[in-house]
Amino acid sequence: MGKTYTGLDKRLAEFIRSQHVFFVATAPSGSGGHVNVSPKGYRDTFAVLGPQRFAYLDLTGSSAETIAHLRQNGRITIMFCSFGDAPKILRIYGTGRPVLPADPDWPEFAARFADRDGAGTDRGNQRAIIVVEADRIADTCGYAVPIMELVSERDVLSRWTERRSPEQLAAYQEEHNKVSIDGLPALG
């Protein structure tokens, strides 16, 4: 059954690397606002930086709730869920922060990611790197999670990005990612 860990060991790091999707949950402070849960794809967008330190590449999307919530209170939970034969759910609870391309520590974190061709992080649509310091790492059984087979990763976001110039992508982010749905500052 479930177990709590002080940090990631090799077995847990390999479990993370073998997952095709992970989920990110954040919420604004107080009783108002919306809790956000986002699925994240592309296995090469998550990096284990140490036993209690992680990062993932945050790609341009239709909103920026995670960035807004982290700027407000830093709370984040990341969940990996096995859809394969061995049932397991791994949750990482902690504090996160967005690192933006203009930030001085962007190159340090960006170097940890490589695209599928090994050419580096320049997917063209990265808007932030979310860096997380874990304060709790725990797994549970996942016995009720269905077994599913991955057909392929979607390339829709990559194709969408390829059709836009850097200026058009920046304009999209300005229009859609400046504030959260609750009006909290995100990229703005």
Share of the chain above pLDDT 90, in %: 73
Q: Is the pLDDT of residue 128 over 60?
A: yes
pLDDT of the residue at 117:
46
Question: 38 φ, ψ to 5°?
Answer: -125, 130
pLDDT of the residue at 158:
83
Share of the chain above pLDDT 70, in %: 94
C-alpha torsion sign, points 11, 14, 16, 19: negative
The tens digit of pLDDT for each residue in 6-57 reads: 999 999 999 999 999 999 999 999 888 999 999 998 878 899 999 999 999 9
- Asked whether 59 and 24 are in contact (CB, 8 A), the reply is no
Nearest to 137 by CA among 95, 97, 90: 90
User: How far is the C-alpha of 108 from the C-alpha of 142, rounded, in Å?
Assistant: 35
Q: Token pair 């909103």 is at which residue?
A: 63
Question: 175 φ, ψ to 5°?
Answer: -75, -40
C-alpha 3: how far from its chain's center?
A: 23
User: How far is the C-alpha of 25 from the C-alpha of 78, rounded, in Å?
Assistant: 6
The torsion region of residue 118 among left (phi > 0), alpha (psi -120 to 50) and beta comes to left
pLDDT of the residue at 62:
87
Banded pLDDT at 58 (limits 50, 70, 90): very high
pLDDT of the residue at 26:
98
pLDDT of the residue at 126:
87
pTM of the model: 0.91
Banded pLDDT at 119 (limits 50, 70, 90): very low
Q: Is the pLDDT of residue 121 over 70?
A: no
Mean pLDDT of the chain: 90
Q: Is the pLDDT of residue 139 over 50?
A: yes
Domains of the chain in start order, with CATH, are 3-176 (2.30.110.10)
Tally of CB atoms within 10 A around 34:
12
